[in-house]
Structure 1
Amino acid sequence: MDAFTGTTRLILLGFFASHIIFTLGLDGQAVIPLSFFPQCLIDLGEFEVATFNDPLMGNARNLLWFQSLVVLELCFQLPFFCVAVYYLSQSDQTTYPDGFRSACIAYGAHTSTTLVPILTSFWASEHVATFTERVLLTSLYFPYLAIPLWLLWMTATATPTHTNSSKKTQ
């Protein structure tokens, strides 16, 4: 697959680099004991919950389905973020290995699928009182649907770097 270039590469690089920070610093608070986090990150999480009335992060320790998504994020997505940052930070790269293309497809499909119940919960939740709160929460989480879908489309439609064109000879 041809390497991402220009603005596309920079958007993806920024997205994945920031996602490493948010996954470890904020999302991880849903499943990792809070004693592992510095107070400034706990305060930031509480600020996010208070500012956006986020019913998931505000009640994460009581929502097993949400905790399971965070565990998947920590175990599967976080390593991918690191690999993605590695490849995207190499601006002189002209192609990516087919394994990276496959990982992008898997990440894009997995993440966009997990965002459907998350976004739906905002609109169905009795804890999100106003339309404005629902729109703000949706706006906050929407990039985590849009960018993985965009990555999925770009990589699923890209030509693999290596094709299996060798023929058996007799």
Structure 2
Amino acid sequence: MPAAGYRGVDYLLFGYFLIQIPATLLFDTQGVYGEWLYPSFLRSLRHHYLETYKDPFLANAWNHPWFLSFCLLEHYLAMPFYVWAAYCYYYGAVNKPVIVIPALIYSVHTITAVIAIWTMALLADFSKIQEPAPTNFTQRLLLCFAYSPFFIVPMVNAVDSFLLTQKRKND
């Protein structure tokens, strides 16, 4: 049984990776693949998100090649990782230590991607694009807020993974 402090983190990370599976398959992929692939309720959910958060990147990833690269990595490399990570964190990182280094790599990649998204959301000129996009600073901050869980949870994961590697090294 892992230490109490790690158990809470394991539950958080299990939930995060478990939620990532349907979110990626049913929501995030809509910015890359044709809308005809998705039922109307998923398209409606996406349109509501786009109108609320004014996310030009997810509206059409093909218009933002840097973002498209993150999406394709998520769809084809991260998806299998999400399944495996959810499995490992279900049992706990202390019990499944094989997850620690891959989780650290995933976390650093995701943090880096979110920083790139935040930078573009705050500094890019969206005046000439057709997709919904932020038109003022408040809307830019709201868009950054929409991506914040994908910074916060991977940061927790990175710190936890680092601490676990240090603990194993010292044992």
The TM-score, its normalising length taken from structure 1, stands at: 0.83
Mapping of residues 1-170 of structure 1, within 5 Å: 4-6=6-8, 8-90=9-91, 94-97=94-97, 99-127=98-126, 128-159=134-165
1:92-124 residue CA offsets vs partner (Å, 9 max, x unmatched): x85213x31111111011111111111111101
Gaps of 5+ in 2: 127-133
Higher helix share: 2
1:23-72 residue CA offsets vs partner (Å, 9 max, x unmatched): 11111112223222112111111111011111211232322221111000
The RMSD of aligned alpha carbons is 2.3
Instruction: Quote the Cα distance in structure 1 between the aligned partners of 2:110 and 2:95.
Output: 24
Instruction: Quote the Cα distance in structure 1 between the aligned partners of 2:12 and 2:139.
Output: 27
Instruction: Quote the Cα distance in structure 1 between the aligned partners of 2:61 and 2:106.
Output: 23
Q: Tell me by how many angstroms 1:139 deviates.
A: 1.2
Instruction: Quote the Cα distance in structure 2 between the aligned partners of 1:148 and 1:43.
Output: 28
Matched residue type, 1:146: I
* Change beyond 3 A, Cα 1:158–1:47: same
Q: Tell me by how many angstroms 1:162 deviates.
A: 7.1
Q: How many residues align?
A: 160
Bigger radius of gyration among the two: 1
Gaps of 5+ in 1: 166-170
Matched residue type, 2:136: T
The answer (yes or no) to whether the contact 2:89–2:96 under 8 Å persists in 1 is no
Matched residue type, 1:151: N
Matched residue type, 1:150: V
The TM-score, its normalising length taken from structure 2, stands at: 0.82
